[in-house]
Amino acid sequence: MQAADQAVIVEFGETIDPVVNRQVIGLDQDLARQPLEGVLETIPTYRSLFIRYDPTRRSSASLIDELQCRMTEELSDDAERRLWTVPVFYGGEAGMDLEDVASLHGLSVDQVIALHSNARYRVYMIGFMPGFAYLGGLPDAIHTPRLTNPRPLTPAGGIAIGGMQASINSVASPSGWRFIGRTPLRLFDPKREPAILLRAGDEIQFECISEDEAARLDALTEAGKVTASCKELR
């Protein structure tokens, strides 16, 4: 569908679903391998692919026709996927909503931490801020609505819940999400290559750490060392 005078959007579904997201990433990868004339940029989301093109080089109608031809082919996400272990200090100043989340669901703080850290998450998309990771896979028992009144500033590295989604905040920013902890990991660092650490299709496993361990990892991160490990899933 036409999105603007220089962009189109290809939609694959209407829900947060790993199969739909793999199709989005599959088309994104296909266009990277076999570029279409005039396409300048592609941006994958949960369920759609935003495609920006040069209208002086081609029309939207011709681009949509070519995309429809691509859509008749089987699209699969065949990029190397990575499983990241992300350390998290739950609670504290950055995890200001942890007790409220527990209270809303009739759970203890330890139960919320166990539910959150024992789940496996999929990075569905990177957006909103540079490196901000939108995650699927949050256990149903801790689905929590966003705040009625967003905060004007929340910390970089904040671990949060927004409805059925989870997230990792990449930089300090306003937010209405519920924050339950913080990671020393920097998802976005303009001095690092690559500047954005995660990519759509990656998977996340959180690891509960102590406040002292978080301080130690903060020092390593400040020195330019990555504090998360990953392994290839294929």
Tokens of 219: 């020092």
Strand boundaries in the chain, DSSP class E: 2-4, 7-11, 39-44, 48-53, 82-90, 120-126, 133-136, 151-154, 158-162, 165-168, 173-175, 178-182, 203-208, 229-232
82-232 CATH: 2.40.100.10
| Lookup: tokens for 149 | 């009144």
Percent of the chain topping pLDDT 90: 76
Cα Dmax for the chain = 59
Q: In the prediction, which pLDDT does 234 show?
A: 58
Q: How far is CA 204 from the centre of its chain?
A: 10
Between β-strands 203-208 and 82-90, what pairing exists: parallel, antiparallel or unpaired?
Answer: parallel
Output the pLDDT for position 227: 66
Write out residues in the chain with pLDDT < 50, as ranges: none
The DSSP call for residue 140 is: G
Cβ neighbors of 150 (< 8 A, separation 6 or more) are: 174, 175, 176
pLDDT of residue 191: 86
Which of 213, 117, 103 is closest to 159 using CA atoms?
117
2-71 architecture in CATH? 2-Layer Sandwich (3.30)
User: 185-198, pLDDT tens digit by residue?
Assistant: 999 999 888 899 99
Q: Show me where the domains of the chain are located.
A: 2-71, 82-232
pLDDT digits (tens, 9 = 90+) for 101-139: 999 999 999 999 999 999 999 999 999 999 999 999 999
